[in-house]
Amino acid sequence: MKKSSTLTTTTSMPASPTLSAQTLSASKISLNSSRCGSAGSGCGSASGSMRSACQSPVRPGSGCVDAIKAKREEIEMDTLLEKAKFYTSVCLGTTAILSVFTFLFLIPFVVDPAISTIIADYDPVPVTCIVIDHIYAEGIKNCSWSSCREGCTSSLTKCHQLFVNYTRIPFSEWERNPRDLDTVNWDVSYTKFLINSEGCGYPPTTNCSIFARQYGFSHIGEPFPCYYSRAYPEVVIGRYSWENNLYHLILSLIIPNVLFAISIGVLSYWYCPCCEKACNKSSRVYAEKFPTKEDKLLCHSDEDDDMEY
């Protein structure tokens, strides 16, 4: 009987440490709950405050965060300005190129005829002319010249050749006091008659068929106003206006050259090395726009302090 009891005691001993550990943990839990219960709502408020403190973000008023935001805004603003400057430069460069080609195009079609008209010195007061001959010809050999030509660079395959007599009697005076054509003393006889100083033009302002019907064919021998050149008396034209001629000349000279000068001036102000002092560019390099290592370390230390707080 003694041996059996001893054996029973020794076999039941290993289970005791486990039970004591569970009992200890349960007692701790009960002790904590009792303390929290005795303290009332203080324990819950303390834990809630700790959680809120741990979960609260970094305060936006910290100096490091404000500095980073300021630098980011500065970089974004600089990027927008660089983009705007780039697109503006492209537009200015395109404008300068187009201005050059436009001016080169206007030289033979507007500038040169306008200067020739000024040199010819046409009398602004229309005088009296009559058409005495009208020849219609076809073929390059037969069309050495033409009173009207549609296209100043096109070859002549069909032409209207009109010859006139003119007197320096103003046409307004002729209308008030008509004269007998057989008794008129013509200043120039049988001279070429042109539609304008160049003898050519472009539709719709120039239509040679309408011009021929207006002055030739059945209208031969009828007086009409015309303009003669005081520098070259044998040159007679049907259309002339000093104001329009000067107006087109000024526009063709000023507009392309002003646009070209403005475009090149702005581009030179921005990109020319000689204008670097005048540009007043900032001495800061591009790398200084980003935070340095010291700024990053300071930022991390401030964040850690804010988290601990």
Domains of the chain, by residue range, sit at 75-122+241-272, 123-239
pTM here is: 0.61
How does the average pLDDT of the chain come out, rounded?
Answer: 77
139 to each of 156, 193, 196, how far by Cα in Å? Answer: 7, 20, 23
pLDDT tens for 87-140 read: 999 999 999 999 999 999 999 889 998 999 999 999 999 999 999 999 999 988
pLDDT for res 202? 86
CB 205 within 8 A of CB 247: no
Q: State the pLDDT confidence band at 222, using cuts at 50, 70 and 90.
A: very high
Distance CA 181, CA 189 (A): 13
pLDDT for res 282? 52
Does the structure show a pLDDT above 80 at 1?
A: no
Mean pLDDT along residues 147-163: 89
Distance CA 215, CA 193 (A): 10
- Tokens 């010819």 found at: 120
Beta bridge partners, 127, equal 170, 226
CB 131 within 8 A of CB 105: no
pLDDT tens for 49-59 read: 434 434 444 44
Q: State the pLDDT confidence band at 19, using cuts at 50, 70 and 90.
A: very low
Mean pLDDT along residues 200-229: 90
